[in-house]
Amino acid sequence: MTNPAPIGRREQEILTAIVETYISTGEPVGSRTLVRKNSEGLSAATIRNVMADLADSGFLEQPHTSAGRVPSVEGYRYYVQRLSGDARLSEEDERSIQGVFHGATDVQEFMERTSHVLSLMSRGVGVAMTLETKKNSLEHVHFQRLADQRVLAVVVMRNGLVRDRVLRVSHEIAQQELDLAARYINENFRGWALDKVQEELQRRLERERSEYDSLMRSLEQLYRHGALSADVASHDVFVEGTANLLGGTEDTERLRQLLQTLEEKQRIVDLLSAYLDSRQETVRVVIGLEETMPDLHNFVLIGAPARVGDEVFGRVAVIGPTRMDYQHTITAVSYIARLFDKILNDSE
């Protein structure tokens, strides 16, 4: 996306006034409204001329049924570029957010609460997802025998992530043997990264099969069928606030497609992965998401990576219509991303 052409100070002030008035009221903005807000005492005629220039430059649009103007996607982008990075949440908002996260001690719990609080703060859709991390280490595993040659494998990581999957094994394994296999992994590999567990387990299976024949047979079955596969630590995605979009469009079919998009885990993962780089240090605002998802035309993503120190554990974001309170939402996303670092550091 190319940056919009620079505009003069007067145009900037009027564009800012139009964007903020439209965000506040939801009604197209006319010159008479701006006369009352203008600090320079500009006439309605002068303001109309400036609005016409802004429209010609692609910053404003005119709905068919109104004489007023509304910001275009380019108008919103220009407005966001000029927002102050020094803004802070009110003390009341900070206390409210801190209250929501009180008692959260792991990544999953934090992310689940994040989607909730961001939906409340933005009146959009709060989204949070965990990422697989190289430093993620094993806390413990548990295996539970099910019917029909199936085993439930529960893998708990030290950062609080819990994954479970049902394995279909080649022959029945007694619960006593499953308990022995879990004890062997827990006693030998607690604190190891999953990829290192797999490498070492493979080596031991070859070396120790003759010594621990029954145990090794059970371990080999569980290992071969993916009990400790890397994708056990795949993304968790939390989405809340889709009801906030119900009043945003009269196009029933488009709303149905939009809600379906937001309910599909993989599409949310793709969206956040496309726009939120783990290397970024600040909040990113993307206005117009149709390049990745046509269903999200005229929608906005405001998001940031959630990290502890230098390691990124997830991404947090708001998805909403272009008419949103950008400054407040950007500040809320930034505050929660920083809070993640503090809370997870304190809990370790």
What CATH number is attached to the domain comprising 37?
Answer: 1.10.10.10
Last residue of a domain, one of 233, 248, 278: 233
Say what the pLDDT of residue 194 is. 79
Say what the pLDDT of residue 126 is. 94
Say what the pLDDT of residue 2 is. 47
| Cα–Cα distance, 155 to 233 (Å, whole number) | 9
Say what the pLDDT of residue 174 is. 92
**3-class secondary structure per residue, 260-286:** HHHHCHHHHHHHHHHHCCCCCCCCEEE
Residues 278 and 342 in one domain: yes
Residues 248 and 336 in one domain: yes
Pseudo-torsion of CA 288, 291, 292, 297, nearest 10°?
40
- Residue 270 CA: distances (Å) to CA of 55, 119, 191, 229, 274: 34, 20, 30, 21, 6
- Residue 83 CA: distances (Å) to CA of 72, 79, 273: 17, 7, 25
- Per the DSSP assignment, residues forming a β-bridge with 239 are 127
- Residue 38 CA: distances (Å) to CA of 33, 34, 46, 228: 9, 6, 11, 64
Tokens standing for residue 59: 């910053």
40 belongs to a structural domain: yes
Q: Which residues of the chain have pLDDT under 70?
A: 1-6, 39, 65, 132-136, 159, 208-213, 230-234, 247-254, 346-348
Residue 45 CB neighbours (<10 A): 9
Helix or strand (DSSP H, E) at 50: helix 44-56
Residues 262 and 198 in one domain: no
Q: Model-level pTM?
A: 0.73
Tokens standing for residue 238: 């939390």
Helix-strand-coil split of the chain, %, nearest 5? 50, 20, 30
Q: Give the chain's domain count.
A: 3
CA distance from start to end of the chain:
41
Residues 152 and 101 in one domain: no
Say what the pLDDT of residue 257 is. 74
4 belongs to a structural domain: no
Residues 42 and 60 in one domain: yes
CA-CA-CA-CA torsion sign (6, 10, 13, 14): negative
Residues 160 and 224 in one domain: yes
Residues 73 and 22 in one domain: yes
Helix or strand (DSSP H, E) at 287: strand 284-287
Last residue of a domain, one of 60, 81, 102: 81
Residues 222 and 276 in one domain: no
Nearest to 199 by CA among 168, 223, 232: 223
Say what the pLDDT of residue 130 is. 86
Say what the pLDDT of residue 264 is. 81
- Kindly report the length of the chain: 348
Say what the pLDDT of residue 312 is. 83
Residues 58 and 151 in one domain: no
| Cα–Cα distance, 269 to 271 (Å, whole number) | 5
- Per the DSSP assignment, residues forming a β-bridge with 156 are 140, 162
281 belongs to a structural domain: yes
1 belongs to a structural domain: no
Nearest to 96 by CA among 121, 119, 115: 121
Residues 180 and 36 in one domain: no
Say what the pLDDT of residue 119 is. 94
Say what the pLDDT of residue 335 is. 94
CB 278 within 8 A of CB 337: no
Burial track 143-161 (b if 16+ CB lie within 10 A, e otherwise): bebeeeeebebbbbbebbb
Residues 309 and 243 in one domain: yes
Residues 262 and 318 in one domain: yes
CB 186 within 8 A of CB 201: no
Nearest to 343 by CA among 132, 107, 17: 107
243 belongs to a structural domain: yes
Say what the pLDDT of residue 212 is. 57
Say what the pLDDT of residue 209 is. 59
Domain membership of residue 96 as a residue range: 91-131+235-347
Say what the pLDDT of residue 185 is. 94
For residue 254, what are the contacts with CB-CB under 8 A and spacing of at least 6? 295
CB 118 within 8 A of CB 332: yes
Say what the pLDDT of residue 281 is. 80
